[in-house]
A and B are shown apart, each in its own frame.
Chain A
């Protein structure tokens, strides 16, 4: 479990660290009257534009990875198109229970539809991470190293190394 304050500290550290990796920067988006923040990153290539947000889920008290993808003409990817971008390792699990892994959810800040990995398993991931790594590690960054590959979010390896 993660408090909102811990989440904010981890996100600021993560964003600061990412400035050393051009093209992989995370930008902080402050939410004034919510006492919280979101970090976001945008990727653009010939086939699509994608935006990733990491928010704090107040119900499960865990970080939440939200993302959307748009075609070059600005049309939002459908759920089936998003599933097609998921890593092969997760594809078999998708076939078993596709609706519970990646679904649309309202963005906690913007209240618009975004795709997300369901947060109900994140707590067990964080628990395992905390058991296996030093307390000084950034747990949002560690969690991101686990879930980023699921949604095809590239992260430079050096970001996960100790500085």
Chain B
């Protein structure tokens, strides 16, 4: 089931982003220049926008009560979702340049978590890993990993160190007689931010030797939770790649999950 070549490719995924300052929030004549960046799919925007915000802040007049936030087509970008997931959701499978507007005021608190420091991002990340392990192993593995192991997951993610990350993550991804994975931490997204999260079974029936659930089973298992999405007209996108209907969910999960240990799948409606 484990495919380290695929894991490496998933780890190294990048999306092309252009950060543009919001046009109506600056009073000085000179406008900030656009900033182009290849952003890691499996990172979070607060981890890469420090320099962007610092540059744009030089154009902001006092008083400095600035709260930076990102927006695309009028939708505030949820910084606590992996960058690649946001890209797949917002761009609906397209791979061209992602033009993101940087705002410096009127933080939409009703829609976005506050992000006062990178500690908030780290806390959210670790919490999500814990949730994933609760689903997989009833938290037994995460509880057995010491604090420094959790710290290593975060540090390796921040510094993009694959081997250091998987040194710890292999424990969380173990699927053995001692620690079998019965349910999969998957979030199935619709075109907006609505998602289905339930106990997705790894096998069609009880027992590890049973038939594996497939990608095509996701929509059936989601039922009407995903809204009125006709099953025949849907394609599934994962890490920017169209997922074959016959792909085993367990394989997808073990090899294409984000560092937070969730597999994010986007259900896109096929245009006629």
Contacts and interface: CB of A to CB of B under 8 A. Distances in A.
A103 B224 CA distance: 30
Question: Number of contact residues on B: which range applies?
Answer: 20 to 34
Contacts of A79: 114, 116
A60 interface: yes
A113 B116 CA distance: 15
A156 B161 CA distance: 53
Contacts of B197: 58-59
A154 B99 CA distance: 48
A76 B109 CA distance: 7
A60 B120 CA distance: 22
Of A33, A34, A99, A118, most buried by chain B (CB within 10 Å of CB) is A99
Contacts of A103: 123-124, 127
Given A112-B110, A112-B111, A34 B225 contact: yes
Contacts of B113: 104, 113
Interface residues of A, number: 18
Contact of B130 (A58, A75, A99, A120): A120
B199 A113 contact: no
Contacts of A99: 119-120, 122-123
Contacts of B109: 75-76, 113
Given A76-B109, A76-B110, 19 more contacts: A33-B225, A34-B225, A58-B198, A58-B199, A59-B134, A60-B131, A60-B134, A75-B109, A78-B114, A79-B114, A103-B127, A111-B194, A111-B195, A113-B111, A113-B112, A113-B113, A113-B114, A118-B127, A120-B139
5 contacts: A58-B197, A58-B199, A99-B122, A111-B193, A113-B111
Closest 10 CB pairs of A and B: A99-B123, A76-B109, A104-B113, A113-B113, A33-B224, A59-B131, A59-B134, A79-B114, A60-B134, A99-B119
Interface of B: 109-114, 116, 119-120, 122-124, 126-127, 130-131, 134-135, 139, 193-195, 197-199, 224-225
